[in-house]
Amino acid sequence: MNHNDIETRVAQSASELDHAQFVRWFREVAPYVHDFRGNTFIIGFGGELIRDGALNALIHDLSLLSALGIKLVLVHGSRPQVNEQLRLKGYPTQFGRGIEPTSAEALECAKEAAGEIRLDIEAAFSQGLPNTPMSHAQIRIISGNFVTAMPVGIVDGVDYQHAGKVRKMDAAIMRSIIDEGSIVLLSPVGFSPTGEAFNLAMEDLATSAAVALRAEKLIFLTQGPIVCAEDGTVDSELAREDADKLLAGGTLSEDAHSFLSHASLAVKRGVARAHLVPYTLDGSILLETFTHDGVGTMVVENTLDDLRDATIDDVGAIVQLIEPLEKDGTLVPRGRATIEREVENFTVLEHDGVIYGCVALKPYLDEGMAEMACLIVHPEWQGAGEGEMLLRHTEARARAMGVKRLFVLTTRTSHWFMKRGFVQGGVADLPKERQAHYNRSRNSMVFIKRL
């Protein structure tokens, strides 16, 4: 083969690889596309995102979400722009995070900044040049007097003057706009029934909108990853209770505290999920939405109340759960004695004294691995996220043991695991001891997830 032939072959196989990767990636995303069609997302971001030049990239991603049938409400802040106006006009005041006293001059600056940002956002959504992500996008963005505000008033003797809070929102009109495919844009200025304007905090506004519309997601775009575990990695999921503990701990930065407290409040008031996602990472909103672990921190209502370690008294209930699946071949028969011996590996889901789910975690710590087995949710309770909760709990347990790779052996549930970040491996990838016990006649598939 001459040099040119080799180059052609290399180029061909590279493009075949690209095609294969593209198709695999597109298929992996499909379940999320189905899941989120018709959902309502509230996206809140500070004026910092605009100052840092990240607006266009965000609008490209939002237009894609909109095209996929996700209903969007955008809420922008304007703090750096207001501060800049104040500086230019020679006023000494500078705004920090959250609700702050607002003088008449600062309110004027806030109105100017809101007007300018609103026009910038409308302009960005009006782009449609060929060969750009906005080509063929025809998205209408609509703003209006949807927010009734009230004064913050005097707090601890301090008069907050023109600073306001959300009193109510016209959820019905906002819903009708998003239902017909347009996007609602909310600026951080609201009006009282007397027609007076008030300076609002973006976080308060976004949270109120998410609650009023009973949104599936509230997403705050932040300057960086702000909720990290002790080892410096981003906490990808926090139960609301844990978020509240972190908030009480007093270790968070001012920004992190403000975003996380609003995320927690939103979830407490019925928003399904609240996310903190760094806008500094290009495409972060897509990664957070369409990949299992995302790139930011997700706060969810604490649903872990039903989860607990199994005890020897649970063996009977676990056997009852497992038996039908052993009979139909979904699970490998274990026998009561094995479960009794290994009961400390099990976690169960219990509600009102009924065990309705279980999972086992068997560590192979020499090889930094662990096996997740016997993942079961009783058929009457399936489809409500309990399986996902057992998986997340098992991942957290495994991580705490220092496990780097979690594996499962499955014959019929491969797609469930693939959707949740597991990748197919082979028997040779298993710990040596586990390879020795691999049941070749069952021919189970091996799936592995890096933790």
Ligand X SMILES: CC(C)(COP(=O)(O)OP(=O)(O)OC[C@H]1O[C@@H](n2cnc3c(N)ncnc32)[C@H](O)[C@@H]1OP(=O)(O)O)[C@@H](O)C(=O)NCCC(=O)NCCS
Residues that bind ligand X (CB under 6 A): 325, 330, 375-377, 382-388, 408, 410, 412-413, 415-416
Residues 6+ apart with CB under 8 A from 171: 212, 213
Question: What are the φ and ψ backbone dihedral angles of 21, each rounded to 5 degrees?
Answer: -65, -40
Q: Which residues pair with 371 in a beta bridge?
A: 362, 407
Q: How is residue 188 written in tokens?
A: 């951080």
Q: CB of residue 379 vs ligand X: minimum separation in angstroms?
A: 7
Largest CA distance in the chain: 86
Q: Which is nearer to ligand X, 364 or 416 (CB)?
A: 416
Shortest-Cβ-distance residue relative to ligand X: 387
Is the four-CA dihedral 332, 336, 342, 345 of positive or negative sign?
positive
Q: CB of residue 197 vs ligand X: minimum separation in angstroms?
A: 45
Q: Which is nearer to ligand X, 158 or 384 (CB)?
A: 384
Q: CB of residue 408 vs ligand X: minimum separation in angstroms?
A: 5
Name the CA radius of gyration of the chain, rounded: 26
**HEC string of 122-164?**
HHHHCCCCCCCCCCCCCCCEECCCCEEEEECCEECCEECECEE
- As a whole number of angstroms, the distance between CA 411 and CA 239 comes to 32
- As a whole number of angstroms, the distance between CA 280 and CA 276 comes to 12
Q: CB of residue 382 vs ligand X: minimum separation in angstroms?
A: 3
- As a whole number of angstroms, the distance between CA 449 and CA 439 comes to 21
| Helix pair 55-67, 104-125: axis angle to 10 deg | 60
Q: CB of residue 431 vs ligand X: minimum separation in angstroms?
A: 17
Q: Which is nearer to ligand X, 166 or 377 (CB)?
A: 377
Q: CB of residue 294 vs ligand X: minimum separation in angstroms?
A: 16
CA atoms within a 13 Å half-sphere pointing along the CA-CB vector of 354 = 8
Q: CB of residue 386 vs ligand X: minimum separation in angstroms?
A: 4
Q: CB of residue 400 vs ligand X: minimum separation in angstroms?
A: 22
Q: Which is nearer to ligand X, 282 or 323 (CB)?
A: 323
Indicate the pairing of strand 217-222 with strand 40-45. Answer: parallel
Q: Which is nearer to ligand X, 366 or 380 (CB)?
A: 380
Q: Which is nearer to ligand X, 69 or 153 (CB)?
A: 69
Q: CB of residue 279 vs ligand X: minimum separation in angstroms?
A: 29
Q: CB of residue 151 vs ligand X: minimum separation in angstroms?
A: 45
Q: CB of residue 381 vs ligand X: minimum separation in angstroms?
A: 6
Q: Which is nearer to ligand X, 263 or 360 (CB)?
A: 360
Q: Which is nearer to ligand X, 82 or 430 (CB)?
A: 430
Q: Which is nearer to ligand X, 29 or 325 (CB)?
A: 325
Residues 6+ apart with CB under 8 A from 275: 217, 218, 219, 220, 263, 288, 294, 296, 297, 298, 299
Q: How is residue 198 written in tokens?
A: 């008030």
Residue indicated by tokens 């690889």: 17
Residue 425, Ramachandran bin (φ over 0: left; ψ between -120 and 50: alpha; else beta): beta
- As a whole number of angstroms, the distance between CA 262 and CA 253 comes to 14
Q: Which is nearer to ligand X, 43 or 355 (CB)?
A: 355
Q: CB of residue 171 vs ligand X: minimum separation in angstroms?
A: 27
Residues 6+ apart with CB under 8 A from 151: 160, 161, 162, 163, 164, 165, 192, 198
Burial environment of residue 172 by CB neighbours within 10 A (0 to 12, 13 to 18, 19 or more):
exposed
Q: Which is nearer to ligand X, 211 or 375 (CB)?
A: 375
Q: Which is nearer to ligand X, 287 or 325 (CB)?
A: 325
